[in-house]
Homo-oligomer: A and B are copies of this chain.
Amino acid sequence: MAEAFDALVERLKGLPGLGRRSAERVALQLVTDERGASAALREALERAERELEACPHCGNLSQRGEACVVCTDPTRERRALCVVERIPDLRAFENSGSWRGLYHVLGGKLSPLQDRGPESIRLASLGERMAALEVEELVLALSNDVEGEATCHYIAENFLPAGREVRVSRIGFGLPSAGEIPYADAVTLRSALESRRAFE
């Protein structure tokens, strides 16, 4: 077509749900829209880049300089913490309405094979929050794979407060092996929470 068009398709391709064909359709729509869809999208992106950042407490997406909507919600149970890998996982739990505690977004999982150690994810702040919030319940909502397992073990071994009881559980039933949390439906996620089991 034209180089600038191909470059745009390259940028769209690979976004969730967008293969080459669908990226081309989206690009065409954007560049031929007469009401300025392209410029409007650019402005929305620029604003999001400027205004959003990770919540300083939990790592959720948040208005820059402010705690996120979950952390500032006075109705949330503050002694219950659900540890997730990424923000889409948190959003999926929120959409399912099945968790009333707070979250902690790790930003990744431990992976010795890929050289991602404890300092590569938000583990230090997890320890600090556990103490500051006097957390009584910790739910490990990490995926059902080797890295998820390793990360759960690492947390259970290193971040439980000494001399204070914390119920630690891991989600289990409901989430299919190799399934991804953002794509699970609300019922599946609720089952996963309800059927959590003690993690030793």
Listed in ascending order, the chain A residues whose CB lies under 8 Å from chain B are 1-5, 7-8, 10-12, 15-18, 22, 24-32, 37-42, 44-52, 61-63, 68-69, 86-88, 91, 182
Contact = CB atoms under 8 A, between A and B. Distances in A.
Contact of A22 (B16, B48, B52): B16
B17 A61 contact: no
Q: Which of A29, A32, A41, A45 has the most CB of B within 10 A?
A: A45
B22 A37 contact: no
Given A17-B26, A30-B15, A3 B38 contact: no
Given A4-B47, A4-B50, A17-B18, 11 more contacts: A2-B63, A7-B44, A8-B45, A10-B44, A16-B22, A16-B26, A30-B48, A32-B61, A38-B48, A39-B45, A39-B49
Main secondary structure of the interface of A (DSSP, over half): helix
Contacts of A32: 61, 86-87
Given A8-B45, A47-B7, A26 B31 contact: no
A8 B15 CA distance: 14
Contacts of A87: 28, 32
**What are the 5 A-B residue pairs with the smallest beta carbon separation, nearest first?**
A4-B51, A16-B25, A11-B44, A8-B44, A11-B41
Contacts of A1: 61, 69, 91
Nearest to A70: B1
